[in-house]
Amino acid sequence: MSNLNLHTPIEYVKGIGLEKANLLKKQLKLSTCEDLLNYFPFRYIDKSRIYTVDQVGNSSAEIQLRGKITSIQEISQNKKKRLVGIFEDTTGTLELVWFNVTDWLIKSIPLYEEVLIFGKVTSFNGKLNMAHPEIEKLSEVKSALAALEPVYSNSEKLQKRGINQRFFKKVIREVLHCLEDQIEENLSQEIISDYKLVSRKKAYQEIHFPSHYQKLQQAEYRLKFEEMFFFQLGFGLQKIYRQNTTPGHPFFKVGDNFNEFYTRHLPFPLTNAQRKVIKEIRKDLRKNIQMNRLLQGDVGSGKTVVALLCMLLAIDNGFQASMMAPTEILAAQHFNSIREFLKDMDISVRLLTGSTPVSERKIIYEELEQGSLHILVGTHAVLEEKVKFKNLGLAVIDEQHRFGVEQRSRIWKKNLVPPHILVMTATPIPRTLAMSYYSDLDVSVIDELPAGRKEIKTFHKTDANRLAVFGFLRNEIKKGRQAYIVYPLIEESETLYYKDLMDGYESITREFPMPEYQVSIVHGRMKSADKDFEIQRFNSNQTQIMVATTVIEVGINIPNASVMVIESAEKFGLSQLHQLRGRVGRGAEQSYCILMTRSELSNEAQKRISTMCETNDGFRISEVDLELRGPGNILGTQQSGIVDFKKTDLVHDKIIVSLSKSGVDRLLSEDPQLQSEKNKPIKKFFISHHKNKFHWAKIS
Ligand code: ADP
Ligand code: MG
Index of the ligand 1 atom closest to the CA of residue 297: 2
Centroid of ligand 2 to alpha carbon of 303 (angstroms): 6
Centroid of ligand 1 to alpha carbon of 329 (angstroms): 18
Write a three-state SS string for 489-549: CCCCCHHHHHHHHHHHHHHHHHHCCCCCCCEEEECCCCCHHHHHHHHHHHHCCCCCEEEEC
Ligand 1 pocket mutation, candidates 261, 268, 340, 401, criterion most atoms within 8 A of CB: 268
Ligand closest to Cα of 579 equals: 1
Index of the ligand 1 atom closest to the CA of residue 557: 14
> For atom 4 of ligand 1, which residue has the closest CA?
303
pLDDT along the chain (700 residues), means of 10: 84 92 94 95 81 80 90 83 92 90 87 90 79 83 64 86 90 94 95 97 95 90 95 86 80 93 95 96 89 87 95 96 88 92 96 94 96 95 91 87 60 77 82 72 87 90 94 96 86 65 90 93 83 88 91 73 95 89 88 95 92 92 85 56 72 87 94 93 90 48
Index of the ligand 1 atom closest to the CA of residue 559: 14
> For atom 20 of ligand 1, which residue has the closest CA?
302
pLDDT at 147: 67
Please give the full DSSP string across 406-419, using - where no structure is assigned: HHHHHHHTTSSSPP
Centroid of ligand 2 to alpha carbon of 651 (angstroms): 27
Sign of CA dihedral 667, 671, 672, 673: negative
Ligand closest to Cα of 554 equals: 2
Residues 6+ apart with CB under 8 A from 495: none
Ligand closest to Cα of 582 equals: 1
pLDDT at 318: 95
- β-sheet bridge partners, residue 324: 378, 397
> For atom 13 of ligand 1, which residue has the closest CA?
302
Ligand closest to Cα of 269 equals: 1
Cβ atoms of 10 and 23 closer than 8 Å: no
Index of the ligand 1 atom closest to the CA of residue 299: 3
> For atom 18 of ligand 1, which residue has the closest CA?
302
Centroid of ligand 1 to alpha carbon of 275 (angstroms): 13
- CA torsion, ordered 146, 148, 150, 151, to nearest 10 deg: 60
Ligand 1 pocket mutation, candidates 261, 305, 309, criterion most atoms within 8 A of CB: 305
List, in sequence order, the alpha helices (H) in 595-679: 603-614, 618-629, 631-635, 637-640, 654-670
Centroid of ligand 1 to alpha carbon of 377 (angstroms): 18
Index of the ligand 1 atom closest to the CA of residue 274: 23
Ligand closest to Cα of 398 equals: 2
> For atom 15 of ligand 1, which residue has the closest CA?
302
pLDDT at 350: 98
β-strand 61-77 against 519-522: which pairing, if any? unpaired
Per DSSP, 398 falls in state E
- CA torsion, ordered 386, 390, 393, 395, to nearest 10 deg: -20
Index of the ligand 1 atom closest to the CA of residue 452: 25
- Domains of the chain and any CATH numbers: 60-139 (2.40.50.140), 266-285+302-425 (3.40.50.300), 457-615 (3.40.50.300)
Index of the ligand 1 atom closest to the CA of residue 446: 2
Centroid of ligand 1 to alpha carbon of 248 (angstroms): 29
How deeply is 115 buried, as exposed, middle or buried, from its count of CB atoms within 10 A (0-12, 13-18, 19+)?
buried
Please give the full DSSP string across 250-317, using - where no structure is assigned: ------HHHHHIIIII-SSPPPHHHHHHHHHHHHHHHSSB--EEEEEE-TTS-HHHHHHHHHHHHHHT
Rounded alpha-carbon distances, angstroms, from residue 290 to 306, 400, 415, 529: 18, 18, 12, 38
Centroid of ligand 1 to alpha carbon of 304 (angstroms): 7
Ligand closest to Cα of 323 equals: 2
- In angstroms, the CA 503 to CA 514 distance is 17
Which residue, among 428, 556, 387, 559, has the nearest Cα to 481 in the 3D structure? 559
- In angstroms, the CA 158 to CA 20 distance is 9
> For atom 19 of ligand 1, which residue has the closest CA?
302
- In angstroms, the CA 583 to CA 621 distance is 16
- β-sheet bridge partners, residue 538: none
**Cα of 271 vs its chain's centroid, Å:** 26
Q: Torsions phi, psi of 83, nearest 5?
A: -110, 130
Centroid of ligand 2 to alpha carbon of 518 (angstroms): 28
Ligand closest to Cα of 303 equals: 1
Q: Which residues line ligand 1 (CB under 6 A)?
A: 268, 270-271, 274, 297, 299-305, 450, 557, 586
Q: Torsions phi, psi of 96, nearest 5?
A: -110, 140
